[in-house]
Amino acid sequence: MLHRIFGIETEYGLLINQEQPDRPPSWIAHQIIDHLFRTKRAGVLDLHHRGYDEPPGNGGFLLNGGRMYVDMGHLEFASPECHSLRDLVASDRAGDWLLQDAIEELGLSENVSVIKNNIDHETDATFGCHENYLVSRNFPFSYNGLGKLIPFLVTRQIFTGAGRIGATENIDGWIPLEQLSREPDLLQQPSNRLTIPYQISQRADYIVNDFFEWVQHNRAIINTRDEPLADPTQFRRIHLLVGDSNLSEIATALKMGTTGLVLQLIEDGHAPNGLDFTDPVEALRQVSRDQERTWMLTLATGETLSAIDIQERFLECAQTQYQGQDEETDWILQEWEEVLRDLRGDYTTLVGRVDWASKLWLLETFRQQEHLAWEDPWLKSLDLEYHNVDPHKGLYFGLMDEGKAPCVTTRDAIELAKYSPPRDTRAFGRGEVIRYLADSSWSGIQEPEDEARQFPPYVINWSVFQVRGSKAFIMPDPFRSYIQEVRTHLKL
């Protein structure tokens, strides 16, 4: 798409299919990291501390230009920088495939499942799917500018949500005031999850603010941390953690593509006005939990619109301004229009394209066949199995096998993306560095000595790398591949 670099960071759940496992998921996560980097040579491990919680050997950059590492006990894959949505979807799926390959090669596939979702039903813990969008430094990074993005993000869950059974309250000690006024005995109740059998978003219950800089205990609709990972005089990085991880390739492309277009509307001064909410966080939950799926919302102006109405306002602006801009933009505009049209009818027409609808249809079909109540643990188990990245077990892949789930990419493109970066971003140059280091003796280092911890043989970050014996090489522009400059620098 025009002037946009995309990236997705996915945190995965690890499900151990044993009643009394002898190893915790975090131990398995580190076994997978060791296998990918030390056995398969799919990248090079960090030999330096990246942070207090990222010691040497915790993860590293992959041959495809992305990163795989352990974050707060979770496996996390950060895709390489992508300039097209098809590259992004292929890279996102490649992360799933790399992990599933490792599970099988380690002989763990019978007892361990990689789950691409955002909640633990037993502990109510959440783990995220973070979206990254490169914008110009001139982007109106203010309440007035970013505020125009809020109504879009609150309502886009109607086609980007992954769906979940139940609800979660009292997240990290937060109890919204409107819930206290509505339910004065909330503190005495363990949960109201059974009164909400199904909702369309997994992350909605965990968002407690509209804007906030830090992410772990004050999750906001928009993260305002200024960390461009590029030339800070030219670029900003919009970092979002409000969305769900998607299995549907259409949903992934729509999530990123429509958001990219709305950011362009804001950059160009064409975003629709008058769609603000008095309380965006409450509106986010209201949409997610609406059992009738009418998704009616009251704006700060007092006007009542549905989430579909609000999305159509953004769509109309984008069609007016950007129809014909490029092939990928036109594809997104068409898919966006079609999914909004179908959301006004029977939700089952969205099976295969929208994750919450696909999962709901599968659960409802099974529930009726077996005469189960929504609180039955069997359904919760099926909820998780929808997100299993194993194509032989994951329920979503059953839809693909039946031809019910259209694809954006191909198997060949995903296989290529496991070990090769996009060729039109700086990930291409970084991939060349990774390949050079993976072929060197340094890649066989098991545990760096004290001297290597202080002066490692190489250091790699998103916008710079340095190999011992040479100067630091800076890559400030994510739109450039730097491939020839990197080869010259490495004397290849």
Residues with a known catalytic role: 71
Residue 176 tokens read as 């919204």
Residue 220 burial (C-beta neighbours within 10 Å; 0-12, 13-18, 19+)? buried
Cβ neighbors of 442 (< 8 A, separation 6 or more) are 44, 47, 457, 458
The answer to whether 353 and 406 are in contact (CB under 8 A) is yes
CA atoms within 13 A on the CB side of 70: 23
One-letter-per-residue 3-state SS of the chain: CCCCCEEEEEEEEEEECCCCCCCCHHHHHHHHHHHHHHHCCCEEECCCCCECCECCCCEEEECCCCEEEEECCEEEEECCCECCHHHHHHHHHHHHHHHHHHHHHCCCCCCEEEECCCECCCCCCECCEEEEEEEECCCCCCHHHHCCCHHHHHHCHHHHCCCEECCCCCECCECCHHHHHHCCCHHHCCCCHHHCCEECCCCHHHCCEEEECCCCCCCEEEECCCCCCCCCCCEEEEEECCCCCCCCHHHHHHHHHHHHHHHHHHHHCCCCCCCCCCCHHHHHHHHHHCCCCCCEEECCCCCEEEHHHHHHHHHHHHHHHHCCCCHHHHHHHHHHHHHHHHHCCCHHHHCCCCHHHHHHHHHHHHHHHHCCCCCCHHHHHHHHHHCECCCCCCHHHHHHHCCCCCCCCCHHHHHHHCCCCCCCCCHHHHHHHHHHHHCCHHHHCCCCCHHHHHCCCEEECCCEEEECCCCCEECCCCCCCCHHHHHHHCCC
